[in-house]
Amino acid sequence: MKIAIGSDHAGYKLKKEILPLLEERGLSFEDVGTEGPDSVDYPDFAKEVAEKVAAGTVDRGILICGTGIGMSISANKVEGIRCALVHDVFSAKATRQHNDSNILAMGERIIGPGLAQEITAAWLDTDYEGGRHALRVEKMMNIEMK
């Protein structure tokens, strides 16, 4: 599995806490930035990660900003993206099982590094169930087509 990960300045520290988890799991990842605490615009990083996921150059994406809200809204503007804003382990599993989310968004100002690592691990480890959820995901994605 290949992951694209990005953050703005408000999510930079938490992103740095997630990278070792990806390394420990032997996952290939591409860090699209930002590279420090200087103020940047979150839509730029959300767009870059989302476009990589939508194009299939990576399998999934992770986005982090202060709350995760701006990143998730921005990423979901890209066709084919199902970005889920998650701040608990149950939701991380559910969004993979039921929604086949392809991008995880989190907020550094909302959760700490330990919980963020647990959420990331649960999201990475959980498979999409398909079945009864497939029609719902298809309907959700068809909304983009209008």
**HEC profile of 45-106:** HHHHHHHHHHHCCCCEEEEEECCCHHHHHHHCCCCCCCEEECCCHHHHHHHHHCCCCCEEEE
Give the CATH number, domain containing residue 9. Answer: 3.40.1400.10
Which structural domain range is residue 116 located in? 2-145
Q: Which of 9, 83, 87, 98 is catalytic?
A: 98
pLDDT bucket at 46, cuts 50 / 70 / 90: very high
Q: How many independent structural domains does the chain possess?
A: 1
Catalytic-residue membership of 98? yes
Upper half-sphere CA count for residue 76 (Cβ side, 13 Å) = 16
Catalytic-residue membership of 83? no
Q: Which of 65, 83, 87, 133 is catalytic?
A: 65
Distance between first and last Cα of the chain? 32
Please give the pLDDT value at position 87: 98
Query: pTM to 2 decimals?
Result: 0.97
